[in-house]
Amino acid sequence: MHYEKFARVVIAAAALVLCFTLSACGNKYASRYSAMLMVRENAPNKASVSFDSFSGTYVIKLKNKSADEAFINYEATLGEGNIKVYYDFNDEKLNLFEIETNGSVDGKAETFTGNKTIYIIIESDGECSDGRFSFSLEKSEK
């Protein structure tokens, strides 16, 4: 009788560990950063982040919820430091833009097709300050 209870506990624990392990595999990129006065917004088709100071990697997920073509519209400013921003679509991490001290940038990325997740990866090269980044998915004009 003790063995039956023990077996149930072991099976339940193994199932629980397996469940958490499988769910963690869906996170392709991980955010690892330290920041002060950081404000974030992340909706399926738009996201923004601003900070007083930042160091590390911050990941944003955007979702193209239709089969229509879409592109990433972006704007960024940075007071001090160096940041590289990448995007990943279809398992390829590509450079989106770089921004340096007292810099600003705005533009559009290539066109994306299909119901897919697009990852935006913000990586600092050391300590950065006074940054504002915004991204939105916009439907392509045909």
Does residue 17 have a pLDDT over 90?
no
State the residue for tokens 């193209």: 64
In angstroms, how far is the first alpha carbon of the chain from the final one?
70
In this prediction, residue 139 carries a pLDDT of 80
Domains of the chain: 30-139 (2.60.120.260)
Residue 107's SS3 state is strand
User: What is the pairing mode between strands 82-88 and 93-100?
Assistant: antiparallel
Q: Are 109 and 96 in contact (CB under 8 A)?
A: yes
Distance CA 101, CA 92 (A): 28
Decide: residue 79, CB within 10 A, 0-12 exposed, 13-18 middle, 19+ buried: middle
Q: Are 60 and 118 in contact (CB under 8 A)?
A: no
Q: What is the pTM of this model?
A: 0.76
In this prediction, residue 16 carries a pLDDT of 44
In this prediction, residue 3 carries a pLDDT of 63
Task: Compute the average pLDDT of residues 63-90.
Answer: 88
Does residue 87 have a pLDDT over 80?
yes
In this prediction, residue 19 carries a pLDDT of 42
Does residue 18 have a pLDDT over 50?
no
In terms of average pLDDT, the best of 12-26, 27-41, 43-57, 80-94 is 43-57
